[in-house]
Amino acid sequence: MVIHSLHPADWPAVRRIYAEGIATGNATFEQAAPDWDEWDAGKLAHPRLAAEVGGALVGWAALSPTSKRSVYRGVAEVSVYVDASVWGQGVGRALLSALVEQSEAAGIWTLQAGIFPENGASVHLHERCGFRIVGRREKIGQMRGVWRDVLLMERRSRIVDWLSS
């Protein structure tokens, strides 16, 4: 497996994997994958990562700002998506671990993730990478007419000094 920076040319594979995750009904409230411009505008420029196995892109990870307010400049929301053909093979962990490392190098002190409780694999992945559940947002949104809860998970950096940032 090779982890590298995600490039615009990777978008078709990224979009396909994102759409596959959306179709599970347990990855996001999104109902369809956006176009490149919308996705690009909603993500931080760095880090954005892609995972390749045998030359095929099989996963991606990126960060979104949680707020435009300067006090939140060191807080970002995590997105990690993996092609179903390689679930359980360590791709998600490799991506999330690299994302954590690169986010700290970029001065980010807090990573957060909103995960449906039914997505046990994602909850477990995040826990293995140092995230903890800090809350449950009950009936935060409807999906296909059903109210859904979201677990709020957080990882605080042990490297980035958020007090002096």
155 contacts: CB under 8 Å, gap ≥ 6: 100, 110, 111, 112, 126, 129, 130, 131, 132
Give ∠ CA 86-137-67 in degrees, rounded to 5.
Answer: 80
Q: CA 119, CA 117: separation in Å to the nearest integer?
A: 5
Query: What single-letter DSSP state applies at residue 100?
Result: H
Question: What is the reported pLDDT for 164?
Answer: 55
Stretch 3-15: mean pLDDT: 98
Give the start-to-end residue ranges of the domains of the chain: 2-156
**Under a CB-based contact definition with an 8 Å cutoff, are residues 33 and 19 in contact?**
yes
Question: What is the reported pLDDT for 62?
Answer: 98
Phi, psi torsion values for 77, nearest 5 degrees: -100, 135
Question: What is the reported pLDDT for 162?
Answer: 62
pTM: 0.94
pLDDT band at 163 (very low <50, low <70, confident <90, very high): low
Model confidence over 102-153: pLDDT tens digits? Answer: 999 999 999 999 999 999 999 999 999 999 999 999 999 999 999 999 999 9
Q: Percent helix, strand, coil in the chain (nearest 5)?
A: 30, 35, 35
Model confidence over 40-88: pLDDT tens digits? Answer: 999 999 999 999 999 999 999 999 999 999 889 999 999 999 999 999 9
Model confidence over 15-48: pLDDT tens digits? Answer: 999 999 999 999 999 999 999 999 999 999 999 9
Give the CATH number of domain 2-156.
3.40.630.30
pLDDT band at 161 (very low <50, low <70, confident <90, very high): confident
Give ∠ CA 60-153-74 in degrees, rounded to 5.
Answer: 75
pLDDT band at 165 (very low <50, low <70, confident <90, very high): low
